[in-house]
């Protein structure tokens, strides 16, 4: 199938991937737009994996206040170069991550940061609840495991569903941007404050 400049432009507009990558994706997908998007996403994952060992020490500290100052967020998002740190797409990503934190209130950047004691407490709650609901003993471990995974999805920023598109996790959103920008991007840390909450 003939790959036209218009098709490449449309794919670039949808994915922000470089023009040459868009052309290659369309060629690989025989002009099928959706397959080309998937191809770029898969490539993005591969690109991100290759880049993840590179040092990300530039970036931005994004500040966001919501609800007339009722919720405040500060998040540090890192990239490899000062050039990308000033890039509008990178800045937009940092802003979207701050919005996500304000709206979805994660407690940790990744699931690896959740303390074992907290996961054990959640497992105990899930076990007790399942028993109270009269679930058979033999399926309790499966129920507990499912609840733990759901808990990780709720409290880990990277595992949360993106507030603007629930089919995409924050981790996937970042990887898509890594593919388009061409640098490693890392959410280093964040803090979220809500008016009147107790300081724990």
Residue extents of the structural domains in the chain: 5-51, 58-110+156-194, 115-154
State in words which class domain 5-51 has: mainly alpha
pLDDT at 154: 96
E strands, the chain, in order? 58-66, 71-79, 161-162, 165-169, 186-194
Lowest mean pLDDT among 10-14, 21-25, 95-99: 10-14
Residue 27 to residue 65: CA distance in whole angstroms: 44
Bridge-partner residues for 156, per DSSP? 108
CATH annotation of 58-110+156-194: 3.30.479.20
**Largest separation between any pair of C-alpha atoms in the chain:** 62
The 10s digit of each residue's pLDDT in 15-62 is: 667 778 888 889 999 999 888 888 877 776 545 555 555 566 789 999
Instruction: Work out the mean pLDDT of the chain and round it to a whole number.
Output: 88
Quote the pTM value.
0.69
CATH domain 115-154 topology: GTP Cyclohydrolase I; Chain A, domain 1 (1.10.286)
Residues in the chain: 200
pLDDT at 129 over 70: yes
Pairwise CA distance, residues 135 & 128, whole Å: 10
């Amino acid at each position: 199938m003939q790959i036209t400049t218009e098709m490449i432009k449309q794919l670039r507009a949808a994915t922000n991937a470089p023009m040459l990558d868009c052309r290659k994706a369309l060629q690989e997908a025989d002009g099928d737009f959706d397959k080309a998007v998937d191809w770029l996403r898969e490539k993005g994952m591969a690109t991100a994996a290759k880049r993840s060992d590179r040092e990300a020490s530039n970036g931005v500290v994004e500040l966001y206040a919501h609800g007339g100052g009722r919720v405040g967020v500060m998040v540090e998002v890192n990239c490899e170069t000062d050039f990308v740190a000033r890039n509008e797409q990178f800045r937009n990503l940092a802003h979207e991550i701050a919005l996500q934190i304000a709206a979805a209130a994660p407690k940790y950047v990744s699931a690896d940061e959740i303390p074992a004691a907290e996961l054990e407490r959640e497992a105990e709650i899930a076990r007790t609840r399942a028993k109270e609901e009269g679930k058979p003993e033999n399926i309790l471990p499966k129920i507990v495991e499912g609840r733990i995974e759901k808990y990780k999805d709720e409290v880990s920023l990277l595992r949360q569903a993106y507030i603007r598109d629930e089919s995409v996790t924050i981790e996937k959103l970042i990887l898509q941007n890594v593919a388009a920008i061409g640098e490693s991007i890392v959410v280093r840390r964040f803090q979220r404050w809500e008016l009147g909450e107790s300081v724990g």
